[in-house]
Chain A
């Protein structure tokens, strides 16, 4: 049984909306003094938003926050932010690579003499002492970019600890402080993780600092934290003592799936299996052999015409690079790519397109959509050929095709000449999916088809993709939305560390199975 201790940080009914998206829906959470508290959850669970609020970069739309028992303003609204004994170490650690360790470590905190000049010797000594206390033996004058990722993360932790100390001194309050680590190990090589976790345990133990660690990796949470809270859809699933929960239970908690959606997907798959089989619609849409490049270290797979295949994994597992390697946007280290049975040599986006492939990248703002251009221009981008006669564009023909697609996809308002940025996220994504459909392609590759859009639009996109697959097109979907993939895919390929960890077909397809493959099965024990 857990005995309650005094609280370090408490939030109640925290709410945060971005436009139509509810990132936090009444999150209440209590973190105790002196503990290491894990925050787990998937993309969109609200954990990043929670950290942003604590860091003061977002103002919540509702709720309250208590620090060491007393009600305080949210850091985002307050000039006192610098005085709260709470420091966040961000995922990207916030270092300037081309400057020295001292510069990065003491930036904005340099001690100065009477003349106003910086005491460099003191600064170097102080930096060295601070780093050695954490077991980091680097030359303070070295450039940060020359150091390994592990040292960089530790330097930022040391800097955060120093800030905490200074904040307490200024406030002449020798009480407690809170260190918040946002995905601290994401940039570390796997060999350095254990040592890093040990350092954090040490900081917590010897300095009594309360540590909040946000992570998508349950192993870390199991290994490091005393207690953890699982988040889903912007609210708390529950807070648990680490010793009381087994690894599979934790994985299930993180999944927290919607049973109804799961059933629908299963039925869909079952029906496909019955009708489908190997000799269904037939030929190959895509064959990939020994593909490597980026974070991908050699994968083989094939997609048949009429099939929807998902490719997924944890962040950084390499699945997110696959669409761009296949379409030639990223350089490949090796690999053979065949589209519709024809080899493509030296693939680049142009050749990929000419071979009958369509790529829909994952970022509507930057890589897939052109926000300032109209829906019409966005839909026909890259394939204006059907709307040309004697070298000139036929606007009427183009507008007509686009209008038809808009009504088919129910994109409102149905005005082909309205700029893309005047539509909601869901309508934008439907328009861009429309681009893929407007082309008679043999292979459609979509990166994150449904991020940041409402359920209605998502369902429409799913049914449209199913329809286009049934017409004999091969579809590949790269996504980190584990709960979404089973709804739409016939088959799911899971990558781990750049290689295929496993493949799920038909009835095996479920969020839980995906997670198992992502984390490498159930062999990891608690603590």
Chain B
């Protein structure tokens, strides 16, 4: 990824210089001095552009790369639809995590919440006579809400680091989920969920659009709502924000609850999309979620976690890992890719985020 970036940069730079140079020859030496400054300004512009869009450019680049390598399998409408549909869960989880990371906290509990809420729905419908899908879903929603509130309580009232609280909560809820299901993989009895999660629009599963809607909402909040601006303040200068009269703790509590509810939605999506789940299904998302959100940190609003960046991060991961699968490289490569991307993403965040990053990493 790094070499590609520099190659790109040099290419863009030399192009800029050569066109400038020929222009200067044509006009003559009289304005050479002014033009040198212009040249510098141009390279500044190029650098600024790359800083914002380097990672975003990866999306079409990776897409073209894999399409060229596997035109008959990767570059098909069916495959593209599948990529988007199957990554809905990742998008939804990443939206929740973005909100949490913006405020300078962590949430590692979403995997457990996802598994537990899905387990609750299945077990209630299967084992409790007369419970409707809707009621079971409502109960699972309340369970997620409770998890968010408990996370917030420990972090804010008891001042335990969110890192610790949510790490514990993730394992705890996974355990409860296993207990609820008797450690079995259980199949989804809810027609309601299956319908809501398997319908298609333009060939793409509905859940992808749910994720998209969440991205748009998050984007609106960050860009155009006071609370969004204050969320960044809480992450970047908590003390200053408090002294300026911002409701720091209310915001912190809010993001833990928001994240838990995103995990709940992801749980419902997964339950509807797959015919069977078990309580540990959320676990494998831990790494890709963080990799996606940190990739997002390096683009669009470079140096800040941001909504569009998160979407781009998910797409990079999705295209990359699907591409590797389609090329029928061994399946372990996906893990190598996800892990590698997380490290590279954070390193890139350091380089591109520059002055803004030190608070997080």
* A interface residue numbers (CB < 8 A to B): 324, 327, 329, 349-350, 352-354, 359, 361, 366-373, 377, 381-382, 384-385, 388, 391-393, 419, 421-422
Contacts and interface: CB of A to CB of B under 8 A. Distances in A.
Given A367-B240, A372-B236, A384 B356 contact: no
B244 A382 contact: yes
25 contacts: A327-B243, A329-B243, A349-B243, A350-B247, A353-B245, A354-B245, A359-B244, A361-B239, A366-B239, A367-B239, A367-B240, A367-B243, A368-B243, A369-B237, A370-B236, A370-B241, A372-B236, A372-B359, A381-B240, A382-B244, A382-B245, A384-B229, A392-B224, A393-B223, A419-B356
A393 B247 CA distance: 18
Most buried by A among B229, B237, B303: B237
B358 to A, nearest CB: 9
Given A370-B233, A372-B356, A381 B225 contact: no
A474 B226 CA distance: 28
Contacts of A353: 244-245
A349 B242 CA distance: 7
A373 B243 contact: no
Contact of A392 (B225, B240, B356): B225
A366 B237 contact: yes
Contacts of A324: 243
A352 B245 contact: yes
B237 A350 contact: no
Most buried by B among A324, A329, A354, A367: A367
B232 interface: yes
Contacts of B226: 384-385, 388, 393
A391 B236 CA distance: 24
A392 B219 CA distance: 12
Contacts of A373: 232-233, 236-237
Interface in B212-269: 223-226, 229, 232-233, 236-237, 239-247
A38 to B, nearest CB: 36
A391 B220 CA distance: 11
B309 to A, nearest CB: 16
Q: Give the contact-size bracket for chain B.
A: 20 to 34
A321 to B, nearest CB: 14
A510 B21 CA distance: 64
Nearest to A329: B243
A358 to B, nearest CB: 9
Contacts of A419: 355-356
Contacts of B225: 391-393
Contacts of B356: 372, 419
B242 A381 contact: no
Contacts of A388: 226
B252 to A, nearest CB: 15
Contact of B240 (A327, A350, A366, A393): A366
Interface of B: 223-226, 229, 232-233, 236-237, 239-247, 303, 355-356, 359
Contacts of B244: 349, 353, 359, 381-382
Contacts, number: 76
Contacts of B243: 324, 327, 329, 349, 359, 361, 367-368
Given A384-B229, A422-B355, A370 B245 contact: no
**B interface, by DSSP: helix, strand, loop or mixed?**
helix
Contacts of B355: 371-372, 419, 421-422
Contact of A372 (B245, B247, B303): B303
Contacts of A368: 240, 243
Nearest to A432: B240
Most buried by A among B223, B233, B240, B246: B240
A372 B303 CA distance: 9
Nearest to B244: A382
Contacts of A359: 243-244
B229 A350 contact: no
A301 to B, nearest CB: 22
Contacts of A350: 245-247
Contact of A349 (B229, B236, B245): B245
Nearest to B250: A350
A327 B242 CA distance: 11
Given A354-B245, A388-B226, A370 B359 contact: no
A383 to B, nearest CB: 8
Nearest to A447: B243
B237 A329 contact: no
Given A327-B243, A381-B241, A393-B223, 13 more contacts: A329-B242, A350-B247, A369-B237, A370-B236, A372-B303, A372-B355, A373-B233, A381-B240, A382-B241, A384-B226, A384-B229, A393-B224, A393-B225
Contacts of B303: 372
Contact of B246 (A329, A352, A382): A382
A385 B243 CA distance: 17
A59 B241 CA distance: 35
Nearest to B356: A372
A327 B243 CA distance: 8
Nearest to A381: B244
Contacts of B224: 392-393
B174 to A, nearest CB: 35
B208 to A, nearest CB: 27
Nearest to B234: A370
Contact of A377 (B223, B229, B245): B229
Contacts of B241: 370, 381-382
Going nearest first, the 4 A-B pairs with the smallest beta carbon separation are A382-B244, A353-B245, A370-B237, A372-B356
A354 B359 CA distance: 30
A369 B224 CA distance: 22
A212 B259 CA distance: 57
Most buried by B among A366, A370, A372, A377: A372
Most buried by A among B226, B237, B244: B244
A366 B225 CA distance: 24
Nearest to A353: B245
Nearest to A384: B226
Most buried by A among B223, B236, B241, B245: B245
A365 to B, nearest CB: 9
Contacts of B237: 366, 369-373
Contacts of A366: 237, 239-240
A324 B243 CA distance: 9
Nearest to A349: B245
Contacts of A349: 242-245
A377 B247 contact: no
Contacts of B239: 361, 366-367
A327 B223 CA distance: 29
A438 to B, nearest CB: 12
A390 to B, nearest CB: 10
Contacts of A381: 233, 240-241, 244, 246
Contacts of A391: 225
B242 A377 contact: no
Contacts of B240: 361, 366-370, 381
B246 to A, nearest CB: 6
